[in-house]
Amino acid sequence: MVGTIPEGARPLPQKAPGAPLMSSGTGTPIASPAPAAKPPIDVDVPDPIVEIRDFDLWYGKFQALEGVSLRVPRNQITALIGPSGCGKTTLLRSINRMNDLIPYVRARGEIAVDGRNIYDPGVDPVEVRRVIGMVFQKPNPFPKSIHQNVAFGARINGYRGDIDELVERALKQAALWEEVSDKLSESGLTLSGGQQQRLCIARAIAVSPDIVLMDEPCSALDPIATQRIEDLMRRLAEDYTIVIVTHNMQQAARVSDRTAFMLAGDDRTGRLIEYGTTDQIFSTPRDERTEAYITGRFG
């Protein structure tokens, strides 16, 4: 767990100073952006596990995100939807500081996980990523055995329990155990695409994260494999908080509890347009752009 700071004890600057992401100097912040447009509609999430506050992000001189504020509820599934290039993947990768790996990325604002800003200078992104796991768009198992794939995270994080037992538990949670229990020493690459993605989910949950980020986890899968992953997500949401990016609005409607709609303007900078319960977003969107998108008029 990221160290927890009691609610209310933390100061709330309107614009936190830009926290440098990369240790290699990336220069001074560019001129501060124009004052954020009207704050996006936020729904009431009483006890958020992730609270994004006024978050901006730049790739070099290009601003990819502006003024995003979002409260992610605990043990629920939150979907980020929007057309290509709207910044939803960037936002997702900001939640576990995966964007740190890209040169010339700068972020400003705050992403608080259990009350602690993960962009504080004292926070180690390596620790953040153990607590906030990730499943990627294309299944990316290590070219190693199924067992090693699941065990890797536990090993490098100094897991002190029984590794074999952990591997079995993670594979069972990922609904893959039945299919691979007799071939744990075979390469993860011998599995089918859907199995590989479930292996990646097992790998992510094997380090007991609190949150699992999923970046279009089904986009490379066929409908049957997609359905299995969606069923799995519903079950995982009992133990984990899930944030999923998806291009597929039906998927968002099927699996998620809350939906955030993002959109990039003519400047290609992504902003959060509307956020609410999935029912509300898909039945009575408040913003006409949300309505246009979910009814398929663009994107």
Partner 1 sequence: MSVESAYRPRLAYRHAVGTAFRWITAAGALLGIVLLALLLTDVARDGTRLLSWDFLNAFPSRFPEQAGFKAALWGSIWVIGFTALLSFPIGVGAALYLEEYSGRGRLTRLIQLNISNLAGVPSIVFGILGLQLFVRGTLGFGPDLGGFGRSVIAGSLTLTLLILPIVIVAAQESVRAVPSSIREASYGVGATRWQTVWHHVLPQALPGILTGMILALSRAIGETAPLIMIGALTFVAFVPEGPGDPFTAMPIQIFNWVGRPQADFRDLAATGIIVLLVVLLAMNAVAVYVRQRTQRNV
66, 248 contact by CB (below 8 A): no
Side by side, the strands of the sheet bearing 48-59 are 116-117, 105-113, 48-59, 62-73, 270-277, 258-264, 77-81, 241-245, 211-215, 132-135
Instruction: Select 209 or 276, whichever has its Cβ closest to partner 1.
Output: 209
Nearest distance from residue 152's CB to partner 1, in Å? 6
Cβ neighbours, 10 Å, residue 282: 20
Q: Phi/psi of residue 145, each to 5°?
A: -70, 160
Residues linked to residue 65 through DSSP beta bridges, in sequence order:
57, 270
Instruction: Select 221 or 294, whichever has its Cβ closest to partner 1.
Output: 221
Nearest distance from residue 240's CB to partner 1, in Å? 14
Instruction: Select 51 or 127, whichever has its Cβ closest to partner 1.
Output: 127
Instruction: Select 39 or 103, whichever has its Cβ closest to partner 1.
Output: 103
Nearest distance from residue 49's CB to partner 1, in Å? 18
Nearest distance from residue 144's CB to partner 1, in Å? 7
86, 78 contact by CB (below 8 A): no
Amino acid letter for position 117: N
Residue with tokens 């809350």: 258
H-helix or E-strand containing 90? helix 88-95
Give the interface with partner 1 as residue ranges (CB under 8 A). 22, 24, 96, 98, 101, 103, 126-127, 129-131, 133-134, 136, 138, 140-144, 152-153, 156-157, 200, 203-204, 206-207
Instruction: Select 67 or 153, whichever has its Cβ closest to partner 1.
Output: 153
Nearest distance from residue 269's CB to partner 1, in Å? 24
Residues linked to residue 77 through DSSP beta bridges, in sequence order:
242
H-helix or E-strand containing 63? strand 62-73
- CA-CA distance, 153 to 284, in Å (whole number)? 42
Instruction: Select 91 or 200, whichever has its Cβ closest to partner 1.
Output: 200
Nearest distance from residue 143's CB to partner 1, in Å? 5
